[in-house]
Structure 1
């Protein structure tokens, strides 16, 4: 089989991500125009209030009720340049420029990383990787809303590559910076511990602590207390799982099917059940980290485990560009890589129940059939949505790879050159 044929599933998966991204770019501004600039409106208001000496918390931009600043106090300093643009539109354009630069940097890092790992890239592969990072649904959603997830994805990619080059202090600092903003990337600390990257762990702890203290020193302890008691406590969204999650809600989490199966169960117990299900999977997927592919698999499983425990929306999957894209190219052709490719496609299939319901209403079928199909779809989305299935496929692929490597007679070190 030729190299081009070997890579067909990978190329198809990346191309599918771009197609979903372009569809999102067309559909969302038309059908949900309120999503455009949503995040930067929040950042702009938070920074503007902080500069005026007011609290950035518990206040929403005009016309956007329920959307409030939810990051640590120190993070608001990163949005001062947004406020200095003078308007929400200026902030959105500034963030868009940052997102373009970040996506470009991620694409360059991924291409160089895979090439230095021994894979032969042609122009099509470079174009697909760049296109996936710049135009997949995971990035387009960030561009539309003006989110900061691409900066966090860049920090994760840079941290992982720096660690491969034994720059542990810088790697730990990069991971800590990402965790300071969104918190859940702190799970990477477990991966660092598994790798026994002690200097990276120390650097992450020092950097994270320094950033936290900087926020306390700049804004005072009372604002940090507000963040802990009133903002962070509300981010668990535990109560929303009582009786089953609304199918219109886009949270990608294993708590969704658990809540659908056991609607009478205390939502707090569902969180514990999700943790009990995910921990053994992540441990199994992190079994062998002696090689590059093993480390990438362990990192992917660790990030996915954290994401699937929390109630996160699909646009956070941009943080998976590294290690997911390198893995797609570095894995041997076969069924397991096919599982990864299928998981990547479903991960990109960000389809909401209201969108399906709207399409059924327009479909050339009888009203009765449309109503029946909508009811069936509603029950399916109460239980799962495509990105959740894709995430579970990727986790399954991680475990299957570790099992495959553990039962092989030949060490995978033979095909695992070091990144220079």
Structure 2
């Protein structure tokens, strides 16, 4: 027996070995997410495994939840209050969600923030358990190393650091997404419908997961999600008045897109939005300088619809189903200006694919993109990496990395690798051949691009 085998046998705990089935690519991808996150934790002496010294803007997102709940109990407009010293921070979720934070007001806000952090850790543990069970249900044994790496990406990666430091709910939502997908896998449609509806009541855009419900003929889940969502919105009206709900939809929700900043091309040093709209803004106003803003969200929606069309056809195998789930969560995140911390929402299908995609050269491109995905920096910072590159290569690369975050590029390339795989292995291309659609799209687009370029 080899030394690794003897070590594995000795370190078996609770029936699980230290090392499971070999998954070198998965280990590398998951471990690659740690350095940037650990660097942030280590650089911050106020937050760590044994340190919790709340200061400055630490926990400010939770502090917003706390003062909003206090205002709600007093009958005030909780969208117009903010923590002392943080005038730019306001409550951003539908009215009914304010009920979530009322029990936390029994404590000081700093204690509530600590409790939310504990709940986030528990949500990460739940998500890890569900992902591990899902992967092992498909004949891939995981060891404690795998469990630690999966839990680590939920808590120690840069994807997660902001949610811990600022005290927001993204890791909780990551746990809800994992629970919802697990519920679908176990045919517990009521659970899945409620879970995704609750997530959508907080962030709105998770409602797009309902498209997968329809594609997968999950009619019970669809009905339950709709009823839960509508009940939540009506509950907000009943409890807090119609004016509060109207204020939310007109002043809060519509004011979050930062649309003016996208006109003409979103700047590399702008807010760290992760979205299709960032690179599209450069393409649109390069080709059509006088384009109205509405073209940008329309084109983002059209691109998202095309992506879902590609992945919602031919979902007969486990790999194709996971690719469809990944496409759904990526579109959910990128169709609208999102924050880098929302990346936890794609972890369930991403991690499952990393372990369970077992054939095709395309998966190696997918692996490389998954590593790039963890380098979630501002484009202005990404441009610094290109210093010293020869021209014209530096100019070409600068146009790409200055217009989109590595996170967006990574997710896009992952979807590209999956799409190429689907095209190559499809058994029946008579109903769907992406090459026909791509050629038709290019035949329409190419002369317009050339005409716009010649007119500049």
Alignment TM class, shorter chain as reference: 0.7 to 0.9
Could you tell me whether the CA contact under 8 Å between 1:42 and 1:68 is conserved in 2?
yes
1:26 aligned residue: 42
RMSD between superposed Cα atoms in Å = 2.8
> What secondary structure is seen at the aligned counterpart in 1 of 2:249?
helix
Partner of 1:257: 279
Instruction: State the secondary structure of the residue aligned to 1:43.
Output: helix
1:267 paired residue number: 293
User: 2:218 maps to which residue?
Assistant: 197
* 2:299 is the alignment partner of 1:279: no
Q: Does residue 395 of structure 1 match 2:411?
A: no
Query: How far is the alpha carbon of 1:335 from its aligned partner?
Result: 2.6
TM-score under structure 2 normalisation? 0.80
**Structure with larger Rg:** 2
Match of 1:177 among 168, 177, 198: 198
Looking at secondary structure, tell me which structure has more helix per residue.
1
Alignment correspondent of 2:142:
121
2:79 match? 57
Q: CA deviation at 1:49?
A: 1.0
Distance 1:86 1:6, change over 3 A: closer
- Rounded to whole Å, the distance in 1 between the matches of 2:427 and 2:44 is 47
Residues 24-68 of structure 1: per-residue CA shift (max 9 Å, x gap)? 3235779xx855212112111111111221111133322223221
- Deviation >4 Å, runs of 4+: 3-6, 27-30, 353-360, 374-381
CA distance in 1, matches of 2:115, 2:320: 38
Q: Structure 2: which 5+ runs fail to align?
A: 1-18, 47-54, 430-456
Question: Does the aligned pair in 2 maintain the 1:46–1:57 contact within 8 Å?
Answer: yes
Distance 2:360 2:152 in 1: 24
- Tell me how many residue pairs correspond in the alignment: 394
Deviation at 1:217, TM superposition (A): 1.2
Q: Which residue number corresponds to residue 325 of structure 1?
A: 351
Residue aligning to 1:386: 406
Pair 1:226-2:252 in alignment: no
Q: Which runs of 5+ in 1 are unaligned?
A: 410-420
Give SS of 2:255's match: helix
Higher relative contact order, structure no. (Cα contacts within 8 Å, ≥ 6 residues apart): 1
3-state secondary structure, aligned to 1:289: coil
Q: What is the deviation of 1:314?
A: 0.8
- Residue equivalent to 1:43: 65
Pick the aligned partner of 2:426 from 387, 406, 411: 406
TM-score by length of 1: 0.86
Report if the CA contact (8 A) 1:247-1:378 is conserved.
no
C-alpha distance after superposition, 1:253-275 (max 9, x if no partner) = 12111212333332221111122
Aligned to 1:415: none
- Per the alignment, residue 116 of structure 2 pairs with 95
User: Is 1:349 matched with 2:370?
Assistant: no
Q: CA deviation at 1:380?
A: 5.3
Is 1:313 the counterpart of 2:323 in the alignment?
Answer: no
Please tell me whether the aligned partners of residues 195 and 289 of structure 1 are also in contact (alpha carbons under 8 angstroms): no
Contact 1:256 1:382 in 2 (8 A): no
Query: Which has the higher mean CA deviation after the structures are superposed, 330-339 or 75-84?
Result: 330-339
Instruction: Give a deviation string over 1:162-195, Cα, whole Å, max 9, x none.
Output: 1111111111111111111101110000000000
